[in-house]
Amino acid sequence: MKRVFRAGLMGVAAAVALSGSALAADYPTKPIEMIVAFAPGGGTDVAARSIASFMEKHLGGGARIAVINKPGAGGEIGWTAVAQAKPDGYTIGFINVPAINALVVEGKAKFKMDDFQPIANLVYDPGVLVVGKNSPYQSVKDLVEAAKAKPGSIAIGTSGAVGSSEHITILNFERLADVKLTHAPFGGTAPVRQAVLGGHIPAATMNLSEALQLSREGEIRVIGVMSEERSDYLKDAPTFREQGYDVVAGSSRGIAAPKGMPADIVAQLEAAVDKALNDPEYLEAAKKAEIPLHYLASGDYKAFLDKSTADLEATWKVSPWR
């Protein structure tokens, strides 16, 4: 009886394995949803829409990917939707580091980082500090001096919420510059840009790719870039380091899926991203859209996510940002 029972279990296991392989071989047989946890028009949305059609091309078989925006709660709504989706390959999404890790570290998220299967990282986008075209602040030093004269009087807008990457960067900047600023979260790039353009806030942080067009049009002024060196995309904008403040920060954007997705499907999605990022047509499109590409394959991306979470846990113990 034991031998028969074991043989039965082995048969079931083999059937499941064959079934999974068959599903992977036919994948995809219906549209794939790619969830973006922020509103249309921001850097993540642009990156998602630019890569989706090329992933379709390299998945083959008439693959279709629909980009679905689910903004709110600093990304938590969209990321929860990815984490809780059925791991069948038909729901994937963009995740943003360090914002997603911060939610987990704070205990605000309905998910853990282990609830995600990393596919690939695509982008590393440095942060910038911007002001309106008529602002009296010509440099980071100007803003710091004004903030020291009236502590808490200068509001810095962000596209995220409390605990977002921009908020954590502001806290770090406050510490380094010995100033007190006021965080003004807007929950999306489009509204915070409009607030700067309308003069409703004196300054804002966002990612470089999100500020380029308006900066070149002269509608906003980038007074500091949070990278080690000046960006090739905006060579006239000085870094924070050049101005005496050791602020280096940014956001990575990558694709993840719910934990438990079949390995064969993970491999197909990873290969599609890899091929897209080596596709001359996509590279030209990314260059035109000024998307700062930074590719990490699934394994390297997992290691990066783990380290980012560990670093934030260490920071939280010393200086919680709630």
Q: What is the CATH number of the domain that holds 28?
A: 3.40.190.150
Question: What local confidence, expressed as pLDDT, does residue 24 receive?
Answer: 63
Do 167 and 177 belong together in one domain? Answer: yes
Residue 242, in any domain of the structure: no
Do 266 and 301 belong together in one domain? Answer: yes
- Chain segment 141-157, per-residue pLDDT in tens: 999 999 999 999 999 99
Beta bridge partners of 158: 185
Do 56 and 130 belong together in one domain? Answer: no
Do 34 and 129 belong together in one domain? Answer: no
Residue 233, in any domain of the structure: no
Residue 257, in any domain of the structure: yes
Question: What local confidence, expressed as pLDDT, does residue 15 receive?
Answer: 44
Do 72 and 141 belong together in one domain? Answer: no
Strands 32-36 and 65-69: parallel
The string of DSSP codes covering 37-67 is SS-TTSHHHHHHHHHHHHHHHHH-TT--EEE
List the domain range (segments joined by +) for residue 146. Answer: 125-225
- Chain segment 111-152, per-residue pLDDT in tens: 999 999 999 999 988 999 999 999 999 999 999 999 999 999
Do 206 and 101 belong together in one domain? Answer: no
Do 133 and 218 belong together in one domain? Answer: yes
Do 119 and 260 belong together in one domain? Answer: yes
Do 9 and 120 belong together in one domain? Answer: yes
CA dihedral 208, 213, 217, 222 (to 10 degrees): -10
Query: Between 99-106 and 165-177, two packed helices, what is the crossing angle to 10 degrees?
Result: 90
- Chain segment 288-302, per-residue pLDDT in tens: 888 889 899 999 999
Residue 256, in any domain of the structure: yes
The CATH number of the domain holding residue 216 is 3.40.190.10
Min mean pLDDT across 15-24, 166-175, 255-264 is at: 15-24
Do 81 and 147 belong together in one domain? Answer: no
Do 257 and 115 belong together in one domain? Answer: yes
Do 114 and 255 belong together in one domain? Answer: yes
The domain tally of the chain equals 2
- Chain segment 217-272, per-residue pLDDT in tens: 999 999 999 988 899 889 999 999 999 998 888 889 999 999 999 999 999 999 99
Min mean pLDDT across 42-56, 80-94, 133-147, 152-166 is at: 152-166
